[in-house]
Amino acid sequence: MALTDTEIRKLKATGTEYQKADRGGLVLVVRAKGEKFWRCELRIIEYLHG
């Protein structure tokens, strides 16, 4: 499920870093002091043609 603007604004600092998953490998990271940034987590799958 996609994160909405309202949900993102409600995320607050908790004293520890945590992540909130969006869809398609996109993750919103909330740092201990309240900084927010997006991280794109990609998985590369190798296909061996043998």
- Nearest 10 degrees: Cα torsion 15, 18, 22, 23: 180
pLDDT computed for residue 15 by the predictor: 95
Contact status, residue 45 vs residue 25, Cβ threshold 8 Å: no
Would you list the DSSP string of 8-42?
A: HHH----SS-EEEE-STTEEEEE-TTS-EEEEE--
pLDDT in tens, 1-49: 789 999 999 999 999 999 999 988 899 999 999 999 999 988 777 777 6
Token digits of residue 31: 């740092």
CA 32 to chain centre: 15
